[in-house]
Amino acid sequence: MSEEQAIVTDLPVPKYSLDAEQEKKEILRHYRSLMKALRPKLKKGDKEMVRTAFEMAADAHKTMRRKSGEPYILHPLAVAMICVEEIGLGVRSTICALLHDTVEDTDLTLEDVEREFGSEIAKIVDGLTKISNVIDTNTSQQAENFKKILLTLTDDPRVILIKLADRLHNMRTMDSMKREKQLKISSETVWVYAPLAHRMGLYNIKSELEDLAMKYMEPEAYKDIARKLAETKRERTRFINEFIRPIKEKLQAGHYDFEIYGRPKSIHSIWHKIKSKGVSFDEVYDLFAIRIILNSPPENEKSDCWKVYSMITDEYNPSPERLRDWLSNPKSNGYEALHTTVMGPQGKWVEIQIRTKRMNEIAEKGLAAHFKYKEGSDTEDRFDKWFGQIREVLAQDDTDSVNFLQDFKTSFLGEEIYVYTPKGEVKMLPMGSTALDFAFAIHSAIGSKCIGAKVHHKLVPISHKLRSGDQIEIITSNKQKPSEDWLNIVVTAKARNKIKDALREEKRKIADDGKYILQRKIEGLGAAYSPGNIDEVVSFYKLPSQLDLFYQIAIKNLDLKELKEFQVLGDRLEPPKPKVVVTEVNVDHHHKPANKKDSELIIFGESSDKIVYQLAKCCNPIPGDTVFGYVSVGKGLVIHRTSCPNAPQLLANYGHRIVKTKWAKNKEISFLTGLKIIGLDDVGVIHKITNIISGDLKINIAGLTIESGEGIFEGTIKVFVHDKEELEELVDRLKQLSGIQRVDRFDTEEVE
């Protein structure tokens, strides 16, 4: 009997199977594919270990099925396959991927895993279990527990890589889930996982995660761009072939070993460009990028890339401001390449990426490939420095975790700039960093005393935003100390934490006075000045900590006159019973429609009762938009569009406050929304626009501003519409007017 036949015989089959034999064969097919992909990495004894892990996982999950109805074991197998094929991980990671859900979801314990495979694998599985408990729950505790994940990341980056594979497979197979679950998982993906994949150098996975999230969050825009890409594929291929031909001939004449091809940009990146640049699909010039991959020996890599760049610019004119040199300054995730944008045939701009085979593997496989090429080298590279910076920030004992995730994203998951000290040492900072961030990056003592800086020998304030290539000298004064407004100047987590520490220390000094005032008051009542009694007072005044209580007393925000209402039982303080206060959500801030009947709109929640609500001013939803409800502290139910810029953060971090909502059909109510119009300035253009809105469509105008200059006009119109269909009809009619170039709905600006 072959080993695979033995596995088929021994395989625990999921219960309730319609065709047990068929499912056994399907599971085996996936297992075979995994072993085939792993074959080049297998050493003595590895095959048996992977088989043991597979059998343990299959047995542990035998009664479980996914939402789609398929056996659950197919998910760990798929995750392991992504780890091997798409991320380039090896045998140990495969074992961890197979076992990643067992400790959390089944009777298998961490001790069982450690007994069978040792402490290294058990540690990774433990890390994966912790992440599942943090990010995939419906609570808002993500930020508080995110530190644990990051500690695991810096301890063993494979935890995050396997988690990314897990998330990618979940995103690929999410069709069977409920709509609200799809939205929540997609939001988490955009908010945390895609930036993390990008930072790990996994560009393909990052793009796919963003595309899949967009498929669920912006289904109409996704389908529209996918359709247009399909329609223009033949024309694009013809253009790419025409563009590539002369470059190919030059490379062949230079005897280079190379690959050259065009690849389309991701749907999400095209959509982002359409939104951020305010252009249509036809106007997005970089729908694809040309990639040239050279097979060069390590010592010739840089010079070969620059020689190829020279060949390209001999053939086509480059755009000087679009040259990106990541050969001299690789990104901290290891990415190296030369990017340029040139003017191609038919007056079209084309992006070209030049890199070697080694660089390409790092770009495709990220961290795993990076460490493979680093083996044997003792030098600390930029990836190590990045991990070092994360460890430094995590070492801060900061209990305020509400903004932790946002700080982490800004500091560690965004694009970077490279700046120089006066001695020429390179410092890596996130984009948007200021002179004050740079001061704290050098040393916290320098940051705390910073009063200004010189950039290229010119004096600048501490709030000056830095650009790549800046050389900065920090100016300090012993009289300087951090202030509250510094928190609005810095973007790095290190600077923010150090400023908070300094402010806390200052607060503590002031709070000492408040401590003595409280002590006298409590003892004056005949009670003991004990931690328990202090906590009762903290709780009564609804303050976050004892320090805040002492501080508020010291700065005379609290005069403690309510202490007289406390009862003294022995030496213990008993707070007065709270009075019952009934609060109602005030909806007066709600957009006022033309006929003042806003209270009649019903948003159906799960109970289908009438609910008091507000419309979010960040996205101004109207009936027909896909929306969700967010229960806000102090404002009650606030309705947001799923395409709202704040949606990913709300859906990812506040799952327990999200309410499933949909519009009730009601044609009597009007909603305020806004349009931006751009066109050629012509006599009577305003009359034509208002004629369509008020005359033809009988829509009420709430406001109209037109600014014109040099033959172009830009207008903003605020109108009351009943629903999305009416707005779309208005947009279509306005676009048909001669000279009108663009008509766009307000997205993130308030229309009031």
Q: Which residues are catalytic?
A: 104-105
What single DSSP character describes residue 55? H
Long-range contacts for 550-555 (Cβ within 8 Å, ≥24 apart)?
Answer: 550/511, 550/512, 550/513, 550/514, 550/515, 550/518, 551/507, 551/510, 551/511, 551/514, 552/514, 553/513, 553/514, 553/515, 553/517, 553/518, 554/510, 554/511, 554/512, 554/513, 554/514, 554/517, 555/510, 555/514
Q: Are strands 700-709 and 627-632 parallel, antiparallel or unpaired?
A: unpaired
> Closest by alpha carbon to 492, among 419, 410, 405?
410
The span from the CA of 631 to the CA of 613, in Å, is: 9
Q: Are 56 and 116 in contact (CB under 8 A)?
A: yes
What single DSSP character describes residue 488? G
What single DSSP character describes residue 465? B
3-state secondary structure of 4: helix
Q: Are strands 636-641 and 627-632 parallel, antiparallel or unpaired?
A: antiparallel
Task: Tell me the sheet residues that pair with 524.
Answer: none
End-to-end Cα separation, the chain, in angstroms: 76
Q: Are 101 and 61 in contact (CB under 8 A)?
A: yes
Vertex 268, ends 263 and 272: CA angle to 5°? 110
Q: 20-38 and 91-99 are packed helices; what angle lies between their axes, rounded to 10 degrees? A: 150
Q: What are phi and psi of 673, to 5 degrees?
A: -145, 170
Tokens coding 419: 């700046």
Q: Are 205 and 95 in contact (CB under 8 A)?
A: no
At a CB cut-off of 8 Å and minimum separation 6, what does 87 contact? 161, 164, 165, 202, 205, 365, 366, 368
For residue 430, give the H/E element and its range: strand 426-430
The span from the CA of 81 to the CA of 93, in Å, is: 10
The span from the CA of 96 to the CA of 86, in Å, is: 16
- Give the dihedral sign, CA 386/388/390/392: negative
For residue 350, give the H/E element and its range: strand 349-356
3-state secondary structure of 422: coil
Q: How many residues does the chain have?
A: 752
